[in-house]
Amino acid sequence: MAQRPIENASRLSRRQMLKIGALGFGSIACSYLDGMEQSAAAAPVANGLAPQSGHFEAPAKAVIMLMQNGGPGQMDLFDPKPDLTKHSGKVHVEKVEMFQPGSEGNTLLGSPLKFRKYGESGIEMAEILPHLGSVADDICLVRSMYNLHNNHTESLVALNTGKIFQGRPALGSWVSYGLGTENQNLPAYVVLRDPEGYNTSGTLLWQNGWMPALYRGTEVSTAGTPVLNLNPSQPIPPAVQRENLDLLAKLNRRHQQDFAYESSLEARIQNYELAARMQLAAAETLDLSRETPATRKMYGLDEPETAGYGLRCLMARRLVESGVRFVQILPPVKPNSQPWDAHDNSKTDNEAICAKCDLPSAALIKDLKQRGLLESTIVVWSGEFGRLPVSQNGKGRDHNRNAFSLILAGGGFKAGHVHGATDDIGYRSVVDPVGVSDLHATLLHQLGLDHTRLTYEHHGSDETLTDARVTSARVVGELFQGPVRV
């Protein structure tokens, strides 16, 4: 048979050239390589969210992340600075970074809030945090954190994904990818936000990035229907619904046979199947009517000021208790701003948000401890950055990526312990500084995951949460009760 002449030869793709040249052997090789890549892409989804063992034994198996977006001021809440108070109103000699209008040069601003020592450990925290102070002997306070950017979104994205650039998987996605979940009827990664609205960075904080959608954070509402679109709009008898779901599963799997290497299709099918199982499990897990009046009071559910955040903290405990791997809690929303963003007045802004978040945060730690869940659950209380030691608008503070404080509790972290220090005015972390990548490596370690070995292939590269190829992220073993595991 005569071969057809090549038309539009200048438009031939590389794939077409391989197909018509060298008897088609190039096309065969290309197809084989494509098959290998597709198989690799499908491999992570093949295991789905089945429980996975880590790289080594570790104390923790779940994480609750109390995201305090807005930048809690370290020198006003967790890191007392007598020198800053002593020299308040004076011009600081060393120039500091200023970012927004209203900044008053280098005029130092002492903290308007008083500190006191809490617990047998004597950890100093602000008096407006009496409830977190009551669990001082159960927490590890890191005073030497730093981040990569001074804008909220970039810094929040970095804290949650390891980079300031959008489009990467969140910490919760990496944890659920590496360990799966212990409850196949619930998502591995759950997000509990204020039902009144989103924070100013929206859903960027719980994206799956280039991982399958199976590892994205699932939003569960604390008002009305917990999971949207989970149940049929018209009531259907359970037996009929079961038959419908079984038929849908068979059709999905039959369709998948024609697209065996499509990881996105496999992820979608598994999401459908998970949704079907959630129809029964979610309602039971999130039914708080079974909680005692004493528990509800402990979380502040009987007080309007703490009820919303307390409800999310209590739901987080129930989810972890039911086998969910990672729960992310967002604070009460603040119109047109971030809830911890104290630009106007460090005293009144902090007093307002602490009144809503202090009691529920401490209640979560106490409740986990009394139920024997704290050692196997890591609680992280953190903002994306801190505040400057100089004045903005006379009484407020601007953003500061160079220093902030965070709390770690449970999961094998030292209790009643303070790590690191900032300089005399709280501007920069100078003693045992801990970067965001160090934090991620440390959290993964306590879950039994080596941050250099937990990889996901993307565009031909083995990606890691900490970008281990180019960063010097380290596991901060000084924070652990026991030795660093390998």
**pLDDT digits 0-9 by tens, 147-174:** 999 999 999 999 999 999 999 999 999 9
Q: What is the mean pLDDT of residues 306-313?
A: 97
Residue 121, both tokens? 């450990």
Place of tokens 């703490």: 306
For residue 374, the SS3 value is coil
User: What pLDDT score was predicted for residue 92?
Assistant: 79
Distance CA 98, CA 390 (A): 9
Distance CA 64, CA 171 (A): 11
pLDDT at 303 exceeding the cut of 90: yes
Distance CA 352, CA 472 (A): 38
Residues 6 or more apart whose Cβ sits within 8 Å of residue 365: 135, 138, 139, 374, 379, 409, 410
- Topology, domain 52-226+289-479: Alkaline Phosphatase, subunit A (3.40.720)
Residues 6 or more apart whose Cβ sits within 8 Å of residue 196: 308, 332, 333
Sign of the Cα torsion 446, 372, 353, 199 reads positive
User: What pLDDT score was predicted for residue 9?
Assistant: 44
Using 50, 70 and 90 to split pLDDT, how confident is the model at 475?
very high
What mean pLDDT is reported for the chain?
85
Strands 115-118 and 103-108: unpaired
Strand partners, 457: 462
Using 50, 70 and 90 to split pLDDT, how confident is the model at 105?
low
Residue 20, both tokens? 């018509």
Using 50, 70 and 90 to split pLDDT, how confident is the model at 224?
low
pLDDT at 352 exceeding the cut of 80: yes
pLDDT at 294 exceeding the cut of 50: yes
Q: How many CB atoms lie within 10 A of CB 243?
A: 12
Distance CA 466, CA 475 (A): 11
Select the more confidently predicted residue: 472 or 34: 472
- Give the range among 24-38, 94-108, 389-403 with minimum mean pLDDT: 24-38
Residue 443, both tokens? 């959290």
User: What pLDDT score was predicted for residue 102?
Assistant: 52
pLDDT at 403 exceeding the cut of 70: yes
Select the more confidently predicted residue: 282 or 80: 80
Residue 7, both tokens? 């038309």
Q: Is 405 within 8 Å of 79 (Cβ atoms)?
A: yes
pLDDT at 262 exceeding the cut of 70: no
Residues 6 or more apart whose Cβ sits within 8 Å of residue 266: 42, 45, 46, 212, 256
Residues 6 or more apart whose Cβ sits within 8 Å of residue 465: 161, 162, 169, 171, 174, 440, 444, 451, 454
Using 50, 70 and 90 to split pLDDT, how confident is the model at 449?
very high
Q: Is 195 within 8 Å of 228 (Cβ atoms)?
A: no
Using 50, 70 and 90 to split pLDDT, how confident is the model at 214?
confident
Q: What is the mean pLDDT of residues 80-89?
A: 96
Q: What is the mean pLDDT of residues 120-129?
A: 98
**pLDDT digits 0-9 by tens, 16-46:** 544 445 444 444 344 433 443 343 334 444 4
Distance CA 172, CA 163 (A): 15
Q: Which helix (H) or strand (E) holds 305?
A: helix 304-321
Distance CA 322, CA 39 (A): 33
Q: What is the mean pLDDT of residues 329-357?
A: 95
Residue 408, both tokens? 């770690």
* Encoded amino acid at 155, one letter: S
User: What pLDDT score was predicted for residue 335?
Assistant: 84
User: What pLDDT score was predicted for residue 230?
Assistant: 59
E strand spans, 240-376: 326-329
pLDDT at 485 exceeding the cut of 90: no
- Give the range among 32-36, 46-50, 88-92, 179-183 with minimum mean pLDDT: 32-36
Exposed/middle/buried for residue 402 (C-beta within 10 Å: 0-12, 13-18, 19+): buried
Please give the angle made by the CA atoms of 381, 375 and 293, to the nearest 5 degrees: 75
Q: Where are the domains of the chain?
A: 22-50+228-285, 52-226+289-479
Distance CA 400, CA 427 (A): 7
Residues 6 or more apart whose Cβ sits within 8 Å of residue 28: none
Distance CA 369, CA 298 (A): 14
Q: Which helix (H) or strand (E) holds 207?
A: none
